[in-house]
């Protein structure tokens, strides 16, 4: 999903930096507070970051006959919220930009926005709404993480469309062209990502369910209900 190095002209790449930097700063603030108050959550933070590392390294073949990779950000977003997810995504994006020529430094702001902010915000909102509505926990996790994946690619398409409007049809026509590549390729990958993330959550609950209560991801009663269902 990464916009490649140099493929966003000014003023667009500066604009996306301007939007992403405050979120990253807020994320650093949140992270610092968490490190001081709840140090026992750090292993789970490492797992969430590592999950993004693994999933974004897997380029998977899709129905369109091209390859793309899932983002893995939905898990971090549900556990730690969008701002911390933005930091974790930025670390992965930097690794790929510097060592793999995948994405880039000028496009880092735009890529952090689509993968680290837009996707996680969608995941976070869907998760909160789904749990309020009393949907099944694992189904909500599936929905939230799959939609985060799709949202990331739609936003990437929008970022490219804004920078490269078509001569006839403008931004909308070029958005359709980019989304046709990205979103369609992503659909099966997003379903896979959602399903596997739901499974990971099952294991997190099994080995360390109390952490989720501490993070306000689920309530005490909700946790007990899920544990009864799965054991």
Binders of other proteins among 53-72, rule CB under 8 A?
53-54, 56-68
Applying CB under 8 A, the span of 25-33, 80-88, 189-197, 217-225 interacting with other proteins comes to 189-197
CB atoms within 10 A of CB 63: 10
Task: Tell me if 55 sits within 8 A of 69, measured CB to CB.
Answer: yes
d(CA 228, CA 59): 36
Binders of other proteins among 113-172, rule CB under 8 A?
138, 160, 164-167
Q: Is there binding between residue 94 and other proteins (CB under 8 A)?
A: no
Query: Which is nearer to other proteins, 18 or 67 (by Cβ)?
Result: 67
First to last CA, the chain: 38
Query: Which is nearer to other proteins, 11 or 22 (by Cβ)?
Result: 11
Q: Is there binding between residue 227 and other proteins (CB under 8 A)?
A: no
Q: Is there binding between residue 47 and other proteins (CB under 8 A)?
A: yes
Q: Is there binding between residue 213 and other proteins (CB under 8 A)?
A: no
The tokens for 83 are 């701002």
Q: Is there binding between residue 17 and other proteins (CB under 8 A)?
A: no
Q: Is there binding between residue 18 and other proteins (CB under 8 A)?
A: no
The DSSP bridge partners found for residue 60 are: 68
For other proteins, the binding residue among 19, 94, 125, 196 (CB under 8 A) is 196
Q: Is there binding between residue 15 and other proteins (CB under 8 A)?
A: no
Closest alpha carbon to 71 in 162, 144, 177: 144
Q: Which are the contacts of 104, defined by CB distance < 8 A and separation ≥ 6? A: 2, 3, 4, 5, 6, 7, 97
The DSSP bridge partners found for residue 166 are: 170
What is the smallest separation between the CB atom of 150 and other proteins, expressed in angstroms?
A: 13
């Amino acid at each position: 999903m990464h916009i490649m190095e140099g493929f966003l002209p000014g003023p667009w790449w500066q604009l996306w930096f301007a939007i992403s930097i405050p979120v990253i700063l807020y994320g650093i603030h949140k992270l610092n507070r968490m490190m001081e108050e709840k140090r026992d959550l750090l292993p789970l933070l490492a797992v969430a970051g590592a999950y993004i590392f693994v999933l974004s390294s897997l380029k998977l073949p899709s129905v369109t006959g091209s390859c793309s990779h899932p983002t893995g950000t939905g898990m971090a977003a549900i556990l730690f919220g969008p701002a911390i997810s933005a930091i974790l995504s930025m670390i992965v994006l930097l690794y790929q930009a510097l060592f793999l020529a995948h994405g880039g430094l000028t496009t880092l702001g735009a890529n952090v926005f689509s993968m680290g902010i837009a996707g996680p915000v969608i995941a976070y909102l869907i998760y909160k709404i789904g749990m309020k509505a009393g949907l099944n926990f694992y189904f909500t996790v599936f929905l939230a993480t799959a939609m985060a994946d799709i949202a990331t690619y739609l936003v990437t398409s929008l970022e490219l469309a804004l920078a490269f409007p078509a001569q006839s049809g403008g931004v909308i026509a070029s958005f359709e062209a980019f989304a046709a590549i990205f979103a369609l390729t992503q659909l099966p990958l997003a379903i896979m990502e959602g399903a596997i993330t739901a499974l990971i959550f099952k294991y997190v609950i099994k080995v360390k369910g109390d952490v989720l209560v501490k993070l306000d991801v689920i309530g005490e009663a909700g946790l007990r209900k899920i544990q009864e269902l799965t054991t």
